[in-house]
């Protein structure tokens, strides 16, 4: 019985832990499908975490918090789009700049607003909602089928993003822009606008992913609270071969491994904690090495587009 509860709670916490990566990976899938690599995703997630925190802290409303969580990253996405789409700077360079900007700005603003307090301010986290019927199952029900609404949102988005990319007119435009922007342009698709749109969606999703750290798990903000999960999301997009469902599988594997190592820590083991903590970072490298094939990537990935270039 205890084993069952333990296993189930590991799975449940794995699902919870994978949520930020799912958001970010879904967003990045859309962005990369449009032919842009956004290395700034980590910075955008930080901005989302920070925005969610201050929004909720000052208004007490989770809704306003979420609004703040997506608006910062969206502004960064617009800056990224301006750099990489209009100015055609190297996308990798632009992404790195966005990443470092997010890292610096969140730390600076947090300290400017809250000072160097020893006790970090806290907000009320979102409370979990049980799934009807399923959460009534004895013992495991309340563990396995009771999450914060934002977790449900993440999983609801997976099929939505899939449908968006592969079944809608706009999705077809995005994919064509990522594969062959010249064709898209010649067919009357505004390549710049599509890439802006993709980046903005990607930024909003990264922001939502980031907000999970402050609104769901801890209720407080720390410098670099995302701890590299933006980079993990990037790895998962590659692992997922630029398909939403596969990327989410990668994110879930990540979440499970993370939850497993936390579980192991809690019951105590001979393996040093630090080695367990390494697992979530080593895992993406291993699964990328095992599955990567360049041919799945959008053909125009990371290539700036310029009209009428001869």
Partner 1 sequence: MKVELQRKRLISFRSCVPFLSGGFAFVVVAIILSLAGVNPIMAYGVMLKGAFGSLHGIADTLVKTTSLLLLGLAVAVAFKCKVWNLGTEGQLYIGALGATLIGISIIGSIPILGIIAMLAAGFVFGGCFALIPAALKVKFGISEIIVTVLLNFVVLLFIAYLLHGPLKDPTTVFNPYSPVIFSESQLPIILPHTRLHAGIIIAALAIIAVYVLLSKTKIGFEIRSVGANIKAARYAGMNVTKSIFVIMGISGGIAGITGAVLVSGVQHLLIEGISPGYGFIAVIIALLGRNNPFGVAIAAFFFAALMSGSEVMYRMLGIPSSLAITLQALVLIFVLIGEIFARLQIHKTENAMKNW
Partner 2 sequence: MTIKDISKTFFAKLAKFQKNTKTSVRDPDSLNVNVRNYAKNKDNGPIVFMKGITCRFGNLIANQNITFDLKKGEIHALLGENGAGKTTLTSLLYGLYQPESGEIYVKGQHAVIRSPSDAINLGIAMVHQHFLLTLAHSVTENIIVGLKSTKGIFLNLDKAEEKILQISKKYGLKIDPKSTVGNLSVGEQQRVEIIKGLYRDVDILILDEPTGMLTPMEEKALFEALRSMVNQGLSIIFITHKLREVMEVSNRITVLRGGNVVGIVKTSETSEDELARMMVGRTVSVNQISQGSISKTTPPTVLEIKNVSALGNSNVLFLKDIRLDLRKGEILGIAGVDGNGQNELAEVIAGLRKVKYGEISMDGRSIANLSPRQIRELGLSYVPEDCLHTGLILEYSIIENLVLDRWYTKPYSNKLFLNKTEMMKFADKIIADFEIKIIELNAPVSSMSGGNLQKIVLGRELSRDSKVLIVHNPTRGLDIGATEYIHKQLIKQKENGVGVLLLSLDLDEILTVSDRIGVIYEGKIIKIVEKQNTDIDQIGLLMGGKAIKT
Interface residues toward partner 2, by CB under 8 A: 167-173, 175-176, 179-180, 182-189, 295, 299, 307-308, 310
Letters for 88-127 (x = contact with partner 1 by CB under 8 A, - = none) are xx--xxx-xxx-xx-xxx-xxxxxxx-xx-----------
Q: Classify each residue of 199-222 as buried b or exposed e, where b means 16 or more C-beta atoms within 10 Å of its C-beta.
A: bbbbbbbbbbbbbbbbbbbbbbbb
- 60 lies in the site for partner 1, by CB under 8 A: no
Comparing CB distances to partner 2, the nearer of 185 and 258 is 185
H helix runs in 34-61, sequence order: 41-59
**How near is the Cβ of 163 to partner 2 at its closest, in Å?**
8
Within 10 A of 122 (CB to CB), how many other CB atoms are there?
A: 13
User: Which is nearer to partner 1, 22 or 297 (by Cβ)?
Assistant: 297
Token output for 284? 């993406």
CA distances from 92 to 35, 46, 84, 106 (A): 12, 18, 9, 21
Tally of CB atoms within 10 A around 37: 22
The residue count for binding partner 1 (CB under 8 A) is 49
CB of 170 to partner 2, least distance (A): 7
Task: Please report how close the Cβ of residue 34 comes to partner 2 at its closest, in angstroms.
Answer: 13
Q: Please identify, among the stretches 49-57, 83-91, 167-175, 188-196, the one whose residues bind partner 1 according to the rule CB under 8 A.
A: 83-91
Cα separation, 194 vs 211, in Å, equals 26
Instruction: Choose, by CB under 8 A, the member of 87, 134, 160, 170 that binds partner 1.
Output: 87
Residue with tokens 């071969």: 241
How far apart (Å, rounded) are the C-alpha atoms in residues 114 and 53?
12
Check residue 130 and report its DSSP letter: E
167 binds, among partner 2, partner 1, none (CB under 5 to 8 A by kind): partner 2
92 binds, among partner 1, partner 2, none (CB under 5 to 8 A by kind): partner 1
285 binds partner 1 (CB under 8 A): yes
Residue 147 is classified by DSSP as: E
- Closer residue to partner 1 (CB): 2 or 112: 112
CA dihedral 33, 35, 37, 43 (to 10 degrees): -70
Residues that bind partner 1 (CB under 8 A): 39, 79, 83, 87-89, 92-94, 96-98, 100-101, 103-105, 107-113, 115-116, 223, 227-228, 231-232, 234-235, 238, 272-275, 277-278, 281-282, 284-285, 288-289, 292-294
């Amino acid at each position: 019985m205890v084993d069952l509860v333990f296993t189930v709670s590991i799975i449940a916490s794995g699902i919870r832990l994978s949520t930020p990566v799912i958001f970010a990976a879904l967003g990045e899938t859309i962005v990369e499908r449009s032919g842009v690599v956004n290395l700034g995703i980590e910075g955008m997630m930080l901005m989302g975490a920070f925005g969610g925190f201050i929004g909720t802290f000052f208004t007490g409303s989770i809704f306003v918090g979420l609004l703040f969580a997506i608006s910062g990253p969206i502004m960064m996405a617009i800056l990224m789009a301006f750099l990489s789409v209009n100015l055609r700077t190297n996308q990798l360079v632009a992404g790195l700049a966005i990443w470092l900007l997010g890292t610096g700005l969140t730390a600076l603003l947090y300290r400017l607003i809250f000072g160097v307090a020893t006790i970090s301010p806290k907000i009320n986290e979102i409370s979990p909602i049980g799934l009807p019927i399923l959460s009534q199952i004895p013992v495991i029900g309340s563990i396995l089928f009771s999450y914060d609404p934002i977790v449900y949102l993440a999983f609801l988005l997976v099929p939505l993003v899939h449908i968006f990319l592969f079944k809608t007119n706009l999705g077809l435009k995005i994919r064509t822009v990522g594969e062959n922007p010249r064709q898209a342009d010649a067919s009357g698709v505004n390549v710049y606008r599509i890439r802006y749109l993709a980046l903005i969606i990607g930024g909003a999703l990264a922001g939502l992913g980031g907000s999970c750290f402050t609104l769901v798990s801890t209720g407080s903000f720390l410098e670099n609270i995302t701890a590299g999960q933006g980079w993990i999301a990037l790895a998962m997009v590659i692992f997922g071969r630029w398909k939403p469902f596969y990327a989410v599988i990668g994110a879930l594997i990540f979440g499970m491994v993370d939850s497993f190592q936390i579980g192991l820590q809690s019951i105590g083991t001979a393996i040093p904690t630090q080695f367990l903590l390494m697992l979530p970072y080593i895992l993406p490298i291993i699964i990328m090495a095992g599955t990567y094939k360049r041919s799945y990537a959008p053909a125009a990935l990371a290539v700036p587009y310029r009209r009428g270039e001869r």
